[in-house]
Structure 1
Amino acid sequence: MILITGASGNVGQEIAQQFHGQGHRIRVASRNPGEWPADVEVIAGDLADPAMMHKALLGVRKAFLMAVPGGESFPAVAKTVGVEHLVFLSSSAVEIGADNPITRMHSRMEELIRQSGISFTFLRPGPFMSNALHWAETIRSERRVRAPYGDAGLVPIDPRDIAAVAVASLVSSGHEGRIYTLTGPEIMTPADQVRTIGEVLNQPIEFDNIAESVAREEMKRYMPEEKVDAVLRIRRAASKQQDVRSTIEEVTGQAARTFRQFVEDHIDAYR
């Protein structure tokens, strides 16, 4: 049995979809699991609940873990019930020592997994290409994007490629004890990304490079203030890590998707 936590998220959902039809026994756990095929076992609940965590882990050999507040006991419980391998979705911000609540949570979970003695693979992706979907509303209504750090070079990655590395790490050997820093195939600024969206739409999209203080106030309308601060710190830190890594292709045998490919596959969101 393979457990996938965070199954309603970008990466967890994609992992489950990539596993579908491969003959593996899959269990998904999420606070909001939604609808799944009949051959997927579904557990709804919060992994911060010890009873739910224990239920989710019973009979599991391998697990994909996303960090959640209150889920710090997951590695120890997994070890106790006989889980053999954990694939943990961390962040490249850990590698550069970014200081914010989200990165500290990832760092702490890596530490707890190591302390548990359980076999592990850590995935440390950079910014998700899917973050650009947050711009969809103003692109549709105004043909405009307002965002900070417009000239900051990033190496965004498609969540589908992260999922592919997770699947490989769960079903094949040779990934034990590995830490995979994951990136897309090209350095792009937010302004570059907006330009690419416009090219695929065949319509010009304006980019307004706004101050961080303005971005903070806008984000606070739909995000808790502590998370806003963490996200902005992560974005600042991400611009300091501009190395393109070949890890995706090395692990999966497939080249990492470009941002243009991501936009083409999600173009309806921007129309």
Structure 2
Amino acid sequence: MSLKSRDNNNSTTGQFAMRPVAKWVRTAVIAGMASSCVFTASAQEDQGKATEVEEDVEIISVTGTRRTIQDQIAIKREATTVVDGLSSEDIGDLPALSIGEALESITGAASHRENGGATEITIRGLGPFLSATHINGREATNGSGDRSVNFSQFPSELVKKVAIYKTQDASMIEGGVAGVIALETITPLDFGKQRVSAEVKLNYNPDEGNVDNSLQSDAGYRGTFSYVDQFEFDNGQAVGVSFGVQRQDISQPEAEYRSSSPSGSSLWACLNDP
């Protein structure tokens, strides 16, 4: 089969003849290719801008207390006794200086205050000496001869959970007539990360200089430091460490008034006026 071409000047015969492509067809093809290139470049540019915008957006994290409330409800639902409690998240959210002040937020609990801070806890108004206190399942006592405990000495940073049992249970140590206050400290291995926390709070009382020592400062402070960490050995064993220390100098002046009775009893009162 032979193909022959034909132009305007010389005519050539053959079985097939090819006609020249029209100019408008060539123009349309070239325009289509150019628009395709422009569209591709524009799409790539838009994609690059979108990537830049996504990289510039900050990560916004939203947290809430719904899980904490659910855990508290679950504890009450599964317990066979009347119990109220606080978790470490609740203690951190409350404006409390110590565990004693955090316990005041529980229904049925009240505190005795000394030097401006909560110390002993009363359950259902029966007095702190009728309540029992457990720390990690062990009974806690003090040197006063009764069952009352000064809760201002426990750093809140190392407490995981606090529960007040208002009714008795066979699994508890006996002795809590009014109720049982159970403290559970954090477990370093379950904590899962290193934490170093330091906190300092200041208070001010202008009547401090009215007491015996006029050189005493009107300002007081409370400082806490806690450290939690975990160490893993080559044999697969692990050890956890938790350490906490608390120092406080509360500026709350008090004056002692002694009566004339032979017993020599004394009363304490706060000074509010110069």
TM-score interval, normalised by the smaller of the two chains: under 0.3
Q: TM-score, normalised by structure 1?
A: 0.23
Which one has the bigger helix percentage? 1
User: How high is the TM-score relative to the length of structure 2?
Assistant: 0.23
The structure with higher relative contact order (CA 8 Å, sep 6+) is 1
- Indicate the structure with greater strand content: 2
For the pair shown, which has the larger CA radius of gyration, 1 or 2?
2
